[in-house]
Amino acid sequence: MNILVVDDEEVLQDVLTALIRKEGHRTFSARTGEEALTILGREEIDLVVLDLMLPGMSGQEVLRQVRKEDPDQVVVVITAYSSIEGAIEAMRIGAFHYIPKPFKNEEVLLTIEKGLEQRRLAKENRALKQRLRESFGFENIIGKSQPMQQIFELIRLAAPAKSNILIRGESGTGKELVAKAIHQHSRRSKGPFVTVNSGSMPPDLLESNLFGHVKGAFTGAISHKKGLFEAADKGSIFFDEIGNIPIDTQAKLLRVIQEKEFMRLGSVETVTADVRIIAATNADLEAAVAKSNFREDLYYRLNVITIELPALRKRPEDIPLLARHFLSLYSLENDKPLKEIEPAALELLLDYSWPGNVRELENVVERAVVLSTGETLTVDLLPATVRHPTTGGPLTLAPEVGSGSVVFREAVSGYERRLIEQALEASGGVQKKAAELLHLKPTTLHEMMKRLKIQANGSGS
């Protein structure tokens, strides 16, 4: 591995270089801090041996610069006994270890090997994360399912283009994450990414926020104010829930898209803005257009490239991956020792229908982490809605209940049979579709059909 030795004493340079090379590593030498930073900017260095007492730039300043450029860089500092306080300060800055002079050769080599092991682990961790991103994720979006792989490919293709993008999907599917990923991989990535919460503001306030206003435009407009379009110039503007924008504001938004210009409230002067629009909705915009609640011309301007995000229930193979990701994230954030999810708890997560999608799964895992006391996420840490999901419909008692002749298990089995037979009939006898209708795993439905002796065509045997 590559090791940089920074020391202005020629004898110490020679001793350290000889020791390190004898262990099979390649060495680089620097006599000043400035020279060391030049080498670090040019070469791939795995560990730095740094003397704190240097001419010109101090060893501590070198350490600060190194840590700023590469937080994972391993730095072993060497110091005289008279400057131990400086070594302690170096540890606070981020040095891996310090060795006082005069030192023993074995001590130096042992410390270097420990430092190199940390560097190896950091490299492996980065490589593992990169492989995970390439295989199962796109920035903060995670998924190994076929629908999500198709989404990742669509993001890669759409991001560099200039076209406006419409992201569709149920609430909680991650529409804003997709919008940010598109911006970050576009030619506008160095520009701003501005979010507009379309449904949370009254019309006049929304227009003021979008286009800005001049002094005196309305009561309370005591000064000129730039709008979000100006703030997003040379970048991207993300409209969350675009379907909630009032019809009058839609006309002004259409002009911005067509002419790339607008007027601030209370002004007659036009302002130009070079902005890419990314919009998201969980509403049926086609139905809104049909009812004249959404402008048809605006719809077609926005709907150049459409990305349809699948509901979590339609990609169950991603649930374990997402759950473990959130477990790791919130365990670290809350300083909790959780390392795994017990099989029974994972089975419940897989069986649940997730009406709130990924956001709901994240909240469930975060709650479990906060309430946990051990190293495993167990069933009892899950909320009742996940542990005891219901079909959501009202309970209708069978006629036999009133007669007092009902047998509970038989009544439950009869109800299960009717539900399954209805689902099979509605899905044309296709078990996979019937399972989706019932929010069951196909294997669970198969076992229930086997137990109830229901044929694949929906009839009992």
* Closest alpha carbon to 194 in 295, 283, 273: 273
pTM for the predicted model, two decimal places: 0.58
Mean pLDDT of the chain: 86
- Report, as an integer, the average pLDDT of 148-164: 92
Q: Is the pLDDT of residue 392 over 50?
A: no
Domain boundaries, the chain: 2-129, 139-308, 316-387, 400-452
Query: Residue 168: pLDDT above 80?
Result: yes
* pLDDT(446) > 90: no
Please give the Cα distance from 213 to 226 (Å, whole number): 7
Strand partners, 142: 137
Distance separating alpha carbons of residues 419 and 439, to the nearest angstrom = 12
Q: Does domain 316-387 have CATH number 1.10.8.60?
A: yes
Using alpha carbons, select from 3, 109, 105 the residue that is nearest to residue 48: 3
How high is the pLDDT of residue 134? 52
pLDDT tens for each residue of 260-270: 888 888 888 88
Residue 440: band (very low, low, confident or very high) from pLDDT cuts 50, 70, 90: confident
* Cα 418 to Cα 420: distance, rounded to the nearest angstrom: 6
Domain 139-308 grouped into CATH 3.40.50.300: yes
- What local confidence, expressed as pLDDT, does residue 403 receive? 46
pLDDT, average across residues 326-331: 90
Radius of gyration (C-alpha) of the chain in whole angstroms: 31
Over 90: is that where the pLDDT of 206 sits? no
CATH number of 2-129, picked from 3.40.50.2300, 3.40.50.300, 3.30.365.10, 3.40.50.1820: 3.40.50.2300
Does pLDDT of 434 surpass 90?
Answer: no
Looking at residue 81, its pLDDT comes to 61
What confidence tier does 126 reach under pLDDT thresholds 50, 70, 90? confident
**Residue 48 β-bridge partners:** 4, 75
pLDDT, position 45: 94
Give residue-wise pLDDT tens across range 211-248.
888 887 777 777 888 889 999 999 999 999 899 899 98
Band (pLDDT 50/70/90 cuts) for residue 452 is confident
Summarize pLDDT for 338-376 with one digit per residue, the tens. 889 999 999 999 999 998 999 999 999 999 999 999 999
Query: Are the folds of 2-129 and 139-308 the same?
Result: yes
